[in-house]
């Protein structure tokens, strides 16, 4: 992975090295804790940086059969790093393999691939370099101009307030909100349905903290909640925003959406393949009027896709 990694043509090399390389980064989906930024945290070891909150790495470690104590548990940081190092060589072809080694190269000056055999040596080298950096220093090293943090729905935003008031902090740090509460100020009434009860509880708290009086939230499976009785009680929706998991929408969910017959559907997807399947199922009553892909993971096949549908 040299300086021309993934740059296979002269045009690509020119565009990156002459135009893009020194441009600032605007990261609208960041996993850095706003508290760590506000306190300008100094990290004790590479495991705190890499494995402290990265669910992408957690997922690969779980696929690799690593015990949870060495993923999100209270296991020793060095043992956690060894466990990740044991999994990483199996990920050749996965963007995680590329990201991890590019970080080792660009931040820590480490050129060799990370394996179980050299995990301890690389662990020590990384920790030595980390002793010279804080959270903000790492952001500056990558020319970060702005980030949107991934916040708890009931966050009181006090860490964001501290960052905003800090005259020494030149990087813009912004919170991210749930869809229902985000659109509430532009709608007469918003109803949110979510399978995870904890998320509903947090959404209610978030609405209260932000003074939103026009939102309602219901916990349960959409196919069980969005019944004829529910529509009769709350009214037929003008706009329905759906954001399913990668597996897309269950056939029963498609059925209740068709039955609810909203005037417009906005479908947010992290898997265009299952989204295309669902759009075909909705085609009997809805036509696609707009499509907007969002490339959140450059140089990978992953893309978010937002589709607007209007009732025929």
| Whole-number CA gyration radius for the chain | 22
User: What's the token pair of residue 171?
Assistant: 């990087």
Picking from 131, 128, 86, the residue whose alpha carbon sits closest to that of residue 110 is 128
Q: Residue 252 in 3-state DSSP?
A: helix
**Active-site residue, selected from the candidate residues 148, 270, 284, 308:** 270
H or E, element range at 201? helix 197-209
Q: Which two tokens stand for residue 160?
A: 């964001």
- Look up 284 and say whether it is catalytic: no
Please provide the size of the chain in residues: 312
Distances (CA, A) of 202 to 150, 173, 180: 14, 22, 12
- With tokens 């559907």, the residue in question is 265
Helix, strand, or coil here: 233? helix
Contacts of 188 (CB under 8 A, 6+ apart): 214
The DSSP-derived string for 71-138 is TTSS--HHHHHHHHHHHGGGGTTSHHHHHHHHHHHHHH---SPP-TTTHHHHHHHHHHHHTT--HHHH
Paired tokens of 1? 């992975």
3-state class (DSSP) for residue 153 = coil
| Catalytic residue annotation | 270
């Amino acid at each position: 992975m040299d300086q021309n990694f993934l740059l296979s043509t002269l045009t690509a090399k020119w565009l990156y090295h002459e135009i893009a390389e020194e441009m600032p980064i605007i990261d609208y989906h960041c996993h850095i804790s706003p508290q760590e930024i506000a306190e300008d945290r100094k990290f004790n070891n590479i495991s705190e940086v890499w494995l402290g909150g990265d669910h992408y790495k957690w997922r690969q470690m779980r696929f690799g059969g690593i015990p949870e104590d060495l993923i999100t548990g209270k296991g020793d940081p060095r043992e956690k790093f060894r466990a990740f190092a044991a999994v990483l060589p199996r990920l050749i072809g996965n963007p995680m393999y590329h990201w991890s080694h590019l970080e080792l190269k660009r931040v820590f000056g480490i050129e060799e691939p990370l394996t179980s055999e050299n995990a301890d040596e690389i662990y020590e080298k990384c920790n030595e370099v980390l002793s010279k950096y804080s959270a903000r220093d790492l952001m500056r090293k990558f020319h970060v101009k702005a980030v949107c943090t991934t916040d708890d729905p009931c966050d009181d935003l006090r860490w964001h307030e501290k960052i905003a008031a800090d005259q020494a902090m030149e990087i813009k740090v912004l919170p991210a909100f749930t869809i229902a509460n985000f659109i509430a100020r532009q709608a007469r009434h918003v109803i949110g349905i979510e399978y995870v009860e904890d998320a509903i509880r947090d959404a209610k708290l978030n609405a209260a903290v932000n003074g939103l009086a026009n939102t309602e939230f219901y916990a349960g499976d959409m196919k069980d909640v969005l019944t004829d009785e529910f529509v009769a009680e709350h009214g037929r929706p003008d706009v329905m925003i759906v954001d399913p998991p990668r597996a897309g929408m269950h056939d029963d969910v498609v059925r209740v959406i068709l039955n609810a017959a909203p005037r417009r559907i906005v479908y947010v997807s992290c898997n265009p393949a299952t989204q295309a399947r669902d759009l075909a199922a909705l085609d009997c009553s809805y036509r696609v009027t707009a499509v907007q892909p969002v490339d959140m993971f450059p140089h990978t096949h992953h893309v978010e896709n937002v589709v607007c549908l209007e009732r025929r």
